[in-house]
Chain A
Amino acid sequence: MATLELSIQHEVAAPVRRKRKLGLLFWIASLWLAIILALAILAPVLPLQNPTDMDMLERRAAFSSEHWLGTDGLGRDEFARLIFGARVSLTVGLIAPMIGLGIGGALGLLAGYFRGRFETLVVGSMDVLLAFPPLVFALAVTAYLGQSIPNLTIILGVLGIPAFMRVARAATLTLARREFVIAAEALGASHARILLRELLPNVILPLLAFFLLGVAVTIVVEGALSFLGLGVPPPMASWGSMIGEGRDSLDVAPRLAFLPAAGLFLTVLAFNLVGDTMRALTDPRQGAL
């Protein structure tokens, strides 16, 4: 979880970069993301084997024409599970940071703009959330609400709120002192207008950059929760839960852990590359600092 905090203010004070071409890496990364996303979305209609059908006597089978990437510890088709796993990992990984982005972003924007008691209240509640051990939160909420992808997404989303709040608040604080905001205030613009027309478009950029990092972190944290039995309910798979299961077969079939780990690695890397490049291209303060 700690990693969610990384980009508190530095995303705002983004580094100056020379404008450069998107580069080959960016395109490779985008292509990879496009493929993974397409596979994940189309998984149910693709001619894949059923990812939950077991062949209990064909456990941990090697690569073959029938099972392209072999079978897992319970004799399920590894390739199908990887693709359906991507579906789960990406669903959780994209939606949970959206919750953080929406709620945390809004709170941070308002706190940074209105300041005063409201800000203290928001920052204080976020501190409460931060001071509370996240695993205890996840365990208790799962125990109460039951295990499902929506619940898991909500838990991860809520845990991400403080980080997004901080990013948004820090960005708003710097922007609120800028000339264009002061000018708008002087011209008698309403709070809503200033917030929506002047601040939001500028705050959203660092938030979006942070969002892409949040996606990567969420996918990894979901894996950790799956390892602890708090992740997606079986027989569904996520990349994280597959790594956790594969870990028991490291000796016999290391690929069961390393294939989903490689998928995770490449996807996180790709999200990061795309995120970085996009931020470098769109950062409004580029050159202004």
Chain B
Amino acid sequence: MVAFVARRFLYVVPVLLAVSLLTFLIASLLPGDLAYVILGDQATPEKVAALRHDMGLDQPIWWRYLSWLGHVLQGDLGRSFRTGQTVLQAVSERIPVSLELMLMAEFIGLLIGIPLAIACAARAGGAFDRFMTGGAFAMLSMPSFLLAILLIYLFAVELRWLPATGYVPFTEEPLANLRFFVLPALTLALAEWPGIMRVLRSDMIATLQEDYIALAKAKGLKPSRILFVHALKPSSLTLVTVTGINIGRLLGGTLIVESIFALPGIGRLLVGAIYTRDLVILQGVVLLVACGFVIVNFIVDMLYAVLDPRIRHGHA
């Protein structure tokens, strides 16, 4: 196990380095010189040149990357030129929002997806199965920006059951906090469950072909017991991976849902940083998000290894 962890770790470091380099390159592609953004209407060429020099923008890109990397390795991700916040402050304020949104969305997605998958797998090829597999994917064709506003009109404006927009930290008002998250999480979950369902359905159908299931059937076990007890766990390996990837993806923020429901998440932070050319924030946040993604994948791999011993031993 220790060797497995160590191997994964050796793999993670270059990935993160590559992400940071990619971020740096991509950020330098952005048109619009920061010096002009800062100087505004008084941007004479001399002033621009002087400011660029002061900010180190006239240095070659590799040098800027290395000096940035040097600071990062010392634990200094830098500070926004615009808000004065450090990267860590900005991220720590917003990560709870993205985390909670992601967990709730994934939870609702699994809540809808798993039972439907089991129902479909139980009668693979049947009318319900065919209807759901086709229909589920077509659900994806409802764009989140339309779905979100429809949910708001229905549940907030017409029925007044839930708030339309807003956020309070869980630590302040737990109940209100959950109410704020229902609609955005539902919007995301409605795009998540079709995938969850399809993955689990396929794996379950495969599992149900296994000999031991036939044996269980022959022994006269109840179908529901076979489905839930014997078939579900061995079928959930792919599901774990997919859920892990989804979680990693959602960590990077869901700009559209965050904007519509006015949630202060990572997505709005990142896009705001691009629009204001706040490159320190952009680079820092992308790096941290990538770390989060890698960690989640790492956990998934561990889980995988725990669930399926073959991977632990055979993958060397």
- Tell me, yes or no, whether A and B come into direct contact in the complex with CB atoms closer than 8 A: yes
Query: Chain A: residues with CB nearer than 8 A to chain B?
Result: 1-3, 5-11, 13-18, 20, 25, 120, 124-125, 127-128, 130-137, 139-141, 143-144, 213, 216-217, 219-220, 223-224, 227-228, 240, 243-244, 247, 250, 257, 261, 264-269, 272-273, 276, 289
Contact across chains for A5 and B125 when beta carbons are under 8 A apart = no
Query: Chain B: residues with CB nearer than 8 A to chain A?
Result: 11, 14-16, 18-19, 22-23, 26-27, 29-32, 124-125, 130, 133-135, 137-138, 140-146, 149-150, 153, 191-192, 194-195, 198-199, 201-203, 205-206, 209, 238, 241-242, 245-246, 248-250, 252-253, 255-256, 267, 270-271, 274, 282, 286, 289-290, 293-294, 297
Knowing A7-B198, A16-B209 are in contact, say whether A213-B137 is a contact too (CB < 8 A).
yes
Contact across chains for B138 and A268 when beta carbons are under 8 A apart = yes
Q: Is the interface of A mostly helix, strand, loop or mixed?
A: helix
Knowing A140-B26, A269-B135 are in contact, say whether A127-B294 is a contact too (CB < 8 A).
yes
Contact across chains for A15 and B206 when beta carbons are under 8 A apart = yes
Contact across chains for A136 and B29 when beta carbons are under 8 A apart = no
**15 additional contacts (CB under 8 A) given A15-B202, A127-B294, A223-B143:** A2-B249, A10-B203, A14-B202, A131-B15, A131-B290, A132-B22, A132-B290, A136-B270, A216-B141, A219-B141, A243-B145, A247-B145, A268-B138, A269-B141, A272-B134
Knowing A120-B11, A224-B145, A276-B133 are in contact, say whether A134-B252 is a contact too (CB < 8 A).
yes
Which residues does chain A contribute within 8 Å of B206, judged by CB atoms?
13, 15-16, 289
A140 and B180 alpha carbons, distance in the complex (Å) = 31
Give chain A nearest CB distance to B117 CB in angstroms.
Answer: 11
Which residues does chain B contribute within 8 Å of A219, judged by CB atoms?
141
Among A10, A13, A20, the one with the most B-chain Cβ atoms within 10 Å of its Cβ is A10
Which residues does chain B contribute within 8 Å of A276, judged by CB atoms?
133-134
A267 and B19 alpha carbons, distance in the complex (Å) = 36
A66 and B198 alpha carbons, distance in the complex (Å) = 44
The 5 closest A-B pairs by CB, nearest first: A15-B205, A133-B252, A269-B138, A10-B202, A268-B141
Which residues does chain A contribute within 8 Å of B146, judged by CB atoms?
243, 247, 257, 261
A11: nearest chain-B partner, CB-CB: B202
Which residues does chain A contribute within 8 Å of B23, judged by CB atoms?
132, 136
Knowing A1-B249, A5-B246 are in contact, say whether A265-B142 is a contact too (CB < 8 A).
yes
Contact across chains for A227 and B256 when beta carbons are under 8 A apart = yes
Knowing A224-B256, A247-B149, A268-B138 are in contact, say whether A135-B270 is a contact too (CB < 8 A).
yes
